[in-house]
Chains A and B, each alone.
Chain A
Amino acid sequence: MTPFPFAAIVGQDEMKTAMVLTAIDPKIGGVLVFGDRGTGKSTAVRALAALLPPIQAVAGCPCNSARPEDCPDWAQVSDMSLVERPTPVVDLPLGVSEDRVTGALDIERALTRGEKAFEAGLLARANRGYLYIDEVNLLEDHIVDLLLDVAQSGENVVEREGLSIRHPARFVLVGSGNPEEGELRPQLLDRFGLSVEVTSPKEIDTRIEVIRRRDAYENDHAAFMARWQPEDAALRERILRARAALADLKTSNVVLHDVASVCLALGSDGLRGELTLLRSARALAAFEGAGDVTRDHIRRAAPMALRHRLRRDPLDDAGSTARVARQLAEVLP
């Protein structure tokens, strides 16, 4: 069955905006969605996969290279033609083995023909696309270490059995989880560009609308898709337009100053906060068709870009969202 349409997801606007922003500018670096059970976290990710514009890739390349000359040697790509394929959205299941993540020696060829060959893993398949980890806070530590390393360098290196393999692995990390089940290591938290918190809708009408659309999706599938697919297509067009507009977008010194002072006031560690805030404010402006980035864009992007980068203050139990809002009100009146 075709996935639930992205545009048909009721409410959860911040989550949807965050996902659209990473689709406009993958350099923002991923989204972390934390929240209650049954709020449509994984539905949104599956929907995003169907929404994303296709990419051009070499047909036979295991890591979706854009040009024939980018294909790694070890892949021995025979089909060098360029094809259009959906943006990869690769699932990284819990309990996955390291071999499957990084790729390993091709066991079949080793057994049957006694040959050394490399079998690409999930990181290769996710190149130029998305890597989705559901319940990311339960991921085993050694897989987290591995991801941190690859996300940092954008390259996957495998040294095994005398093979030395490297290939590009640039992907947008999307994680979801339920904070009740455990916290995320700060190092991994920092790798996510944006973070959003989702809760179960409180208004009864919204809840009814969710159930109503679920019913239509399950029991009147064709009509439901016919109703919503045009909206998804329109959103896709808007994302493509925003991507094109990104380069011409003007960022004034005032805006840069605003970005820096917000981050300074919040005491977010490192410069990653500034960069992500600026990028996501730019993507937001481009999405809305604005000619330049304004203070309003920053104000709206800041909670997503900064709430997971705050220093822990054990004496402040107001929650990081409230802290960001408080500082924003002070610094950007």
Chain B
Amino acid sequence: MTPFDATSGPHRPTPSPDPWAQLGLALALLAVDPRGLRGLWLRGRAGPVRDRVLAALAPLAPRKLHPFMPEDALTGGLDLSATLALNRLHRHEGLLSRDGTLALTMAERCPPGLSVRLGQALDARPGLSLVALDEAAEEGEGLPPALADRLALFLDIDGFGWSDSADITLDPARIAAAQAHLPKIALPPEVLEQMTRIAASLAIDSLRAPWLALMAARAHCAWRGGQALDERDLTLAAELVLGHRARAFPQDTPPEDQPPPPEPPENDPDQAQDREAQEPQIPDELLIEAAFAALPPGLLARLQAAKAARIAAGSGAGTKRKSMARGRPMPSRPGKPGSGARVDVVATLRQAAPWQAMRRAARPDAAQGRLLLMPGDIRIKRYQDRTDRVLIFVVDASGSAAVARLAEAKGAVEIMLAEAYSARDHVALVTFRGDHAELALPPTRSLVQAKRRLAGLPGGGATPLASAMQVAFDASLQARARGMSPTLAFLTDGRGNIALDGTPDRAQAGADATTLASAIAARAIPALVIDTSLRPKPHLSDLAATMGATRIALPRADARAMAQTLGAALGGKEG
């Protein structure tokens, strides 16, 4: 079932007559106007079908680029061997310093730094265009937003089998004719307005989207040899450019984003008259429908999930870190050997090589044939390491969580601890009862310690939930500051009755808990709430919603079931 079946009502998608022909058309548009469209986001696994698509793009002669190319391959740099051989400066050209089309393989693994560099290169050099090959398999993966925003077209080829597809040949003569025709096609003001309005009603924030859609419409008009933009051009553009960017259905959008009711565009006194005569008006609904028709089933849900995952993951700032010892290699940097750093011998030699003539002149007494190294030449290796995850368990030990449930919670935490240990995760434990919460165990990898603290955990007393949330929140911020990625897991029945200041005021306690929940949500700390009460109450699910947390009700669960749920929920969250 497609996500819009239930909600869309009149905007039921009309399936395109032939999806593969549609795809071929999109490629033709890119070939006609790579400057205007800036590129294509192609989702799908490598395989014969993708090869067919790429073969069609061969006339653009794309240059390959992969996410982990060294810096100088992008921007150009010193060609050391040529320089030394010729004894004069020789630079090699970078991929970004020339017009043309780039093909970025494994685009879903493109780090934010590179995606931004590519985006900047696209902005700075109008002659550059990009085909991003996204092989995302899992939810939460996908093209980095800096690129997705800039590339006009999106095609998903995962649904095509070999037999659904055929070779695509783009007639070079037709492309050349369309390219010559392109500048003659004007963008009438009412078309411009309509496209902007449609994009806004689909809750597309970026203003690049309507512009790129207009470029696609123009390219299509040129491709079919039309004199002026008409309905065919605009519906196709809406499908190819706006469809995958849609973030809401028009009826979902807040009132201020609503498009004005379709009305004849205001008459532009000097020029609109004759244009209206030759152009039939296209109702907005038609274009919106076209945009939705382009959505493969489940795509909207997937995109939203991807967005949520990006926010939940703390957006990269704290999830990766530099390491001297392990992880994926990064460009080496000047530095001193020692303190765990490893010398990058090759980079050091490369650094020293150009200066040899000069240094030898300065030190005629130096032995011939020996390399003259200076401390400034030394390059050390750096690696990018995934940050450690820290699971912060917040365990309710109050009287309201009956003793039996406390034992189950302890058991679940122990099983989780064992799993965390094998995943090299850190764990921390916050417990709360009586009038305050405490950090019973600061982040550690020691399973034994965690077990011991847990076993000695007494039960009974009031439920200072707000205080527990405060302690857990502080602990996660501290963990973040140390470069770890915190995840909170609350095990509680949620009937907080002690306010932050320690007074037994149920109303204040509730308000404090809500405030903290929104603070946790604002910092995008992934959280999970396990409701251990016998009859789940709405206020705990409200609290979980405010926190942006997944809530799982577990009345009568045994420890292993609880741990499995925990593990599944946390694993899903981390993507």
For chain B, which range describes its interface: under 10, 10 to 19, 20 to 34, or 35 or more residues?
Answer: 35 or more
Say if the beta carbon of B501 comes within 8 Å of chain A: no
Chain B residues with Cβ below 8 Å from A95 are: 71, 74-75, 113-114, 117
- Mark out the residues of chain B between 402 and 455 whose CB falls within 8 Å of any chain A CB in the assembled complex: none
Expressed in whole angstroms, the minimum distance between the Cβ of A37 and any Cβ of chain B is 5
Are B71 and A211 neighbours in the complex by a CB distance under 8 Å? no
Binds A, one of B81-89, B158-166, B288-296: B81-89
Binds A, one of B134-142, B209-217, B532-540: B209-217
How many A-B residue contacts, CB cutoff 8 Å?
150
Are B257 and A215 neighbours in the complex by a CB distance under 8 Å? no
Are A112 and B195 neighbours in the complex by a CB distance under 8 Å? no
Expressed in whole angstroms, the minimum distance between the Cβ of B144 and any Cβ of chain A is 9
Chain B residues with Cβ below 8 Å from A180 are: 145, 310-311, 315
Given contacts A36-B205, A183-B317, A207-B210, contact A315 B259 (CB under 8 A): no
Binds A, one of B45-53, B234-242, B513-521, B567-575: B513-521
Say if the beta carbon of B299 comes within 8 Å of chain A: no
Are A208 and B193 neighbours in the complex by a CB distance under 8 Å? yes
Given contacts A111-B357, A161-B374, A211-B207, contact A182 B317 (CB under 8 A): yes
Are A200 and B354 neighbours in the complex by a CB distance under 8 Å? no
Expressed in whole angstroms, the minimum distance between the Cβ of B131 and any Cβ of chain A is 20
Are A215 and B519 neighbours in the complex by a CB distance under 8 Å? no
Chain A residue at smallest Cβ distance from B84: A111
Are B145 and A37 neighbours in the complex by a CB distance under 8 Å? yes
Chain B residues with Cβ below 8 Å from A207 are: 196, 199-200, 207, 210
Given contacts A110-B354, A114-B361, A202-B257, contact A211 B196 (CB under 8 A): yes
Q: Select which of A38, A93, A182, A317 is within 8 A of B316 by beta carbon.
A: A182
Binds A, one of B2-10, B101-109, B184-192, B391-399: B184-192
- Bound CA span A214–B117, Å: 23
Are B376 and A160 neighbours in the complex by a CB distance under 8 Å? yes
Residue interface bits B505-523, CB-to-A below 8 A is 1, else 0:
0000000000110110111
- Bound CA span A178–B515, Å: 26
Say if the beta carbon of A197 comes within 8 Å of chain B: no
Binds B, one of A16-24, A48-56, A134-142: A134-142
How many of A's residues come within 8 Å of B, CB to CB?
A: 53
- Bound CA span A13–B401, Å: 55
- Bound CA span A8–B518, Å: 40
* 8 closest residue pairs by CB, A with B: A38-B206, A182-B317, A108-B89, A200-B205, A38-B208, A135-B116, A114-B357, A114-B358
Would you mind naming 26 contact pairs between A and B with Cβ atoms under 8 Å apart? A36-B206, A37-B208, A38-B206, A38-B209, A39-B207, A93-B75, A94-B120, A105-B355, A110-B354, A111-B87, A111-B354, A114-B357, A114-B358, A135-B120, A137-B317, A178-B145, A180-B311, A181-B316, A182-B316, A208-B192, A210-B196, A212-B189, A215-B187, A215-B214, A314-B473, A315-B515
Q: List B residues at the A interface (Cβ < 8 Å).
A: 71, 74-75, 78, 83-84, 87-89, 112-114, 116-117, 120, 123, 126, 145-146, 149, 183, 186-187, 189, 192-193, 195-197, 199-200, 205-211, 214, 256-257, 259-260, 310-311, 315-317, 322, 333-334, 354-355, 357-358, 360-362, 374, 376, 473, 477, 515-516, 518-519, 521-523
Q: List A residues at the B interface (Cβ < 8 Å).
A: 1, 36-40, 42, 93-95, 97-98, 105, 107-108, 110-112, 114-116, 134-135, 137-138, 140-142, 160-162, 178, 180-183, 199-204, 207-208, 210-212, 214-215, 219, 314-315, 317
